[in-house]
């Protein structure tokens, strides 16, 4: 897919992978709009990047309706939607873990929000000669990480949804569906997991996302995720044990 001269929406674009991807895609000649729930942070990022922004909490159905209305009037040539916004809680399952409340928040942001936003923007995307939906999942969509148990659940759900959406849209639209599975990336959200010491720079993910879209690589693995994927399908039990060995 040609990934230049496109209008692109990136959720969670104020930092991390979203910020790095916005920077790269803007440099490649695309019109980029970033969104996020923190208006001040978003405005600062947009000024640094030289892109446009719309403050929006993607877990709020009314806010999403307002966002879509703005795109229908001001950005009706939208060609690429990158569902990047995410949240995760580092904890282990067990008595007193409060897993239900944590998982509700994680599923609202990591699963229900991209499903809602994608469906709402499909009419615009279908109007373009070529278009793409890019869902940022994770290597934990391959197998769970015990310190991110319900985050793993949500990302696995988004992985499954991405596959079903790709198959569905391929039959009668020009919309391509990409899934990005990063391994550990150095962002504010991964500091408690050793992201600063062991994570890849967000710019690595951005480069892989750009190259993957350009090459029509529908499953884009970042860092160790590709090998982890291969290991899992070779020996699921061994791969899952290896993935979690440092946390058991």
Cα 88–chain centre separation: 13
Structural domain includes residue 1? no
Residue 248 is predicted with a pLDDT of 85
How many CB atoms lie under 10 A from the CB of residue 164? 10
Residue 187 is predicted with a pLDDT of 72
Q: Check which CATH number belongs to the domain holding 142 and give it.
A: 3.40.50.720
3-state secondary structure string, 216-228?
CCCEEEECCHHHH
**Structural tokens at position 115:** 């499903």
Per-position DSSP letters for 20-41, written without gaps between them: HHHHHHHHTT-EEEEEES-HHH
Is residue 182 a contact partner of residue 138, using CB atoms and an 8 Å limit? yes
Structural domain includes residue 111? yes
Interatomic CA distance for residues 49 and 207, integer angstroms = 16
Q: What is the DSSP letter of 171?
A: T
**Structural tokens at position 221:** 């693995």
| pLDDT in 10s for each residue of the chain, 248 residues | 999 999 999 999 999 999 999 999 999 999 999 999 999 999 999 999 999 999 999 999 999 999 999 999 999 999 999 999 999 999 999 999 999 999 999 999 999 999 999 999 999 999 999 999 999 999 999 999 999 999 999 999 999 999 999 999 999 999 999 999 999 888 777 666 655 666 799 999 999 999 999 999 999 999 999 999 999 999 999 999 999 998 98
- Enclosing domain of residue 188: 7-247
Structural domain includes residue 119? yes
Structural domain includes residue 222? yes
Interatomic CA distance for residues 123 and 156, integer angstroms = 26
Question: What separation, in Å, do the N-terminal and C-terminal C-alpha atoms of the chain show?
Answer: 42
Comparing CA positions, the residue from 19, 12, 63 lying closest to residue 35 is 12
Number of domains in the chain: 1
Structural domain includes residue 195? yes
Please report which helix (H) or strand (E) contains residue 173, including its range.
Answer: none
pTM (whole model) above 0.85: yes
């Amino acid at each position: 897919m040609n990934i230049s001269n496109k209008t692109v929406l990136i959720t969670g674009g104020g930092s991390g992978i979203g910020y790095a991807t916005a920077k790269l895609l803007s440099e490649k000649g695309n019109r980029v709009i970033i969104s996020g729930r923190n208006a001040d942070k978003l405005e600062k990022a947009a000024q640094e990047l030289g892109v446009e922004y719309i403050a929006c909490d993607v877990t709020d159905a009314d806010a999403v309706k307002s966002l879509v209305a703005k795109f229908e009037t001001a950005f009706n040539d939208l060609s690429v939607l990158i569902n990047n916004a995410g949240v995760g809680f580092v904890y282990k399952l067990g008595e007193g873990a409060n897993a239900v409340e944590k998982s509700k928040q994680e599923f609202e942001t990591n699963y229900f929000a991209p499903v809602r936003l994608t469906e709402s923007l499909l009419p615009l995307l279908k109007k373009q000669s070529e278009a793409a939906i890019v869902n940022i999942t994770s290597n934990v969509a391959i197998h769970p990480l015990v310190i991110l148990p319900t985050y793993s659940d949500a990302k696995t759900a988004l992985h499954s949804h991405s596959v079903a959406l790709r198959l569905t849209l391929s039959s009668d639209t020009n919309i391509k569906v990409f899934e990005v599975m990063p391994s550990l990336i150095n962002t504010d959200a991964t500091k408690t997991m050793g992201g600063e010491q062991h994570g890849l720079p967000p710019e690595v993910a951005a480069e892989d996302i750009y190259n993957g879209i350009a090459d029509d690589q529908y499953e884009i693995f970042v860092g160790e995720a590709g090998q982890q994927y291969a290991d899992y399908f070779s020996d699921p039990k061994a791969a899952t044990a290896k993935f979690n060995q440092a946390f058991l």
